[in-house]
């Protein structure tokens, strides 16, 4: 057996050590320092936006976006069921009510069902959308760009504008994904809605160990979010606080890592895209599983690759598939369990979930590190095919 092939590990081939040493030498290790500002500027430049606030995590970026949206206890926030739970937990931090809207074949929020929910389950009056069942106001929606894909933002933005709903883009998996055609050609995931949240956790396309960033469609809004992330201190000299703040600021050590990672981001994206093409080619015309394509009209960062298992032929549980691949040196993972089926969410409302449960039992994520070699990709594919052929019920 060859080397263990991990699912998705960080890549520090650049100036990471140099910049972190520099931050330590200067003594700027905490929530102030030049690397934080530099990272914010580099991200803003990359995303073609004018202001970005670096923070502690993608989760805190999402939480601050909800706070800034004015989401209050009891308000409704429309959310996806098939994603990482961190996209939805901040709704609970605000004691708001999540309602789960189904995904489409991109795994992102289905705009057709979103529109239907707004038209049929809600009333719209005086610029406010209210959920008929309990009279709560629908304040915001969280749209996740799953695995580096792009949600159908043209349709989602039209619906949100019509009904006065704030759009929070969870672009934690989609740094570098942008539209190449249509109304938003040239626009990056996270810069289309009212807010965009990014994550630099260990398995994301760039990492600062833990970290995140948030942007918004108005520069002053980002300034206010930055202010909230540093305990909302109003006066430079005195400890005066007119609002509830948070300890959500990124540290300079993390930002030093981030500045180095931003230098490599274009190369990471290039490799992820090239490796995706290799996988897609090796699985071409394969009956037992297919590589799920990304949306057309975009350039995706292709952060994670999805293999859709043919459930007509392979009925083995995910647990078995993952364990047997692991035994052969290949780390894979199942797509997330549905959030609405997790204990804290069992009593929440769902709206016409069909695609989400369908994909939840079919998608296997396969190794996608930027360091993966051609030979390793070939090994992954041949091991998966070997296993699938053993598990195939259709063979005779």
* Contacting positions for ligand PLP (CB under 6 A): 57-59, 83-84, 86-87, 144, 170, 172-173, 199, 201, 212
Q: CA-CA distance, 52 to 271, in Å (whole number)? A: 26
Distance CA 204, CA 172 (A): 8
CB–CB of 207/39 below 8 Å?
Answer: no
How far apart, in whole angstroms, are the C-alpha atoms of residue 148 and residue 278?
17
Output the six-digit token pair for 261.
Answer: 């990672």
The CB-of-205 to ligand PLP minimum distance in angstroms stands at 11
Least distance between ligand PLP and beta carbon 20 (Å): 19
- Closest approach of ligand PLP to the CB of residue 198, in Å: 8
Task: Considering the complex, state which of residue 129 and residue 339 has its C-beta at the smaller distance from ligand PLP.
Answer: 339
Instruction: Give the nearest distance from C-beta 206 to ligand PLP in angstroms.
Output: 12
- C-beta closer to ligand PLP: residue 137 or 201: 201
| 221: nearest Cα among 13, 39, 392, 64 | 64
State in angstroms the smallest separation of the CB of 344 from ligand PLP.
16
CA distance 18 to 255: 13
Beta carbon of residue 59, minimum distance to ligand PLP (angstroms, whole number): 3
Contacts of residue 279, defined as CB under 8 A and 6 or more positions apart, other chains included, come to 291, 305, 366, 377, 380, 381
Please, which residue, 58 or 196, has the CB nearer to ligand PLP?
A: 58
* Closer to ligand PLP by Cβ: residue 80 or 367: 80
Tell which residue, 163, 167, 121, 128, has the closest CA to residue 350. Answer: 121
Shortest distance, CB of residue 145 to ligand PLP, whole angstroms? Answer: 8
Bridge partners, residue 54, by sequence: 213
Residue nearer to ligand PLP on the CB measure, 5 or 144 = 144
Q: In the bound complex, what is the minimum distance in angstroms from residue 83's beta carbon to ligand PLP?
A: 5
Counting Cβ atoms within 10 Å, is residue 74 exposed (0-12), middle (13-18) or buried (19+)? Answer: middle
Q: Which is nearer to ligand PLP, 172 or 350 (CB)?
A: 172
Nearer to ligand PLP, 49 or 201 (CB): 201
Tell me whether residue 76 or residue 86 sits nearer to ligand PLP (CB atom): 86
Listed in order, strand segments (DSSP E) in the chain are 52-55, 76-79, 97-101, 122-125, 128-131, 138-144, 166-170, 178-179, 195-199, 212-216, 289-291, 298-299, 305-309, 333-334, 349-351, 363-366
């Amino acid at each position: 057996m060859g080397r263990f092939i991990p699912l998705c590990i960080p890549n520090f081939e650049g100036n990471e050590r140099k910049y972190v040493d520099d931050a330590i030498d200067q003594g700027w290790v905490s929530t102030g320092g030049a690397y934080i500002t530099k990272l914010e500027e580099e991200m803003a430049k990359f995303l073609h936006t004018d202001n970005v606030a670096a923070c502690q995590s993608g989760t805190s970026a999402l939480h601050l976006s909800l706070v800034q949206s004015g989401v209050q206890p009891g308000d409704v926030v429309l959310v996806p069921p098939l994603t990482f739970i961190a996209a939805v937990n901040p709704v609970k931090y605000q004691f708001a009510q999540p309602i789960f809207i189904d995904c489409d074949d991109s795994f992102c929020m289905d705009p057709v069902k979103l529109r239907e929910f707004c038209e049929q389950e809600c009333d719209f009056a005086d610029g406010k959308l209210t959920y008929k069942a309990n009279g709560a106001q629908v304040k915001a929606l969280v749209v996740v760009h799953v695995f580096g894909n792009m949600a159908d933002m043209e349709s989602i933005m039209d619906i949100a504008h019509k009904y006065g709903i704030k759009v929070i883009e969870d672009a934690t998996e989609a740094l570098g994904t942008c539209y190449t055609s249509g109304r938003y050609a040239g626009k990056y995931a996270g810069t289309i809605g009212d807010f965009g949240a990014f994550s630099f956790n260990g398995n994301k396309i760039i990492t600062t160990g833990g970290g995140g960033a948030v942007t918004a469609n108005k520069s002053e809004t980002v300034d206010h979010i930055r202010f909230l992330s540093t305990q909302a201190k109003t006066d430079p000299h005195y400890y005066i606080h007119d609002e509830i703040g948070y300890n959500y600021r990124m540290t300079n050590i993390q930002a030093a890592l981030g500045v180095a990672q931003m230098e490599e981001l274009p190369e990471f994206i290039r490799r992820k895209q090239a490796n995706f093409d290799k996988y897609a080619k090796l699985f071409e015309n394969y009956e037992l599983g297919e590589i799920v394509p990304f949306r057309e009209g975009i350039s995706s960062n292709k952060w994670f690759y999805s293999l859709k298992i043919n459930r007509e032929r392979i009925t083995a549980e995910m647990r078995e598939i993952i364990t047997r691949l692991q035994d052969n040196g290949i780390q894979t993972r199942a797509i997330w369990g549905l959030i609405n089926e997790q204990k804290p969410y069992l009593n929440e409302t769902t709206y016409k979930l069909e695609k989400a449960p369908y994909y939840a039992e079919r998608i296997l994520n396969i190794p996608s590190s930027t360091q993966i070699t051609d030979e390793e990709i070939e090994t992954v594919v041949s091991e998966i095919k070997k296993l699938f052929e053993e598990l195939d019920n259709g063979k005779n």
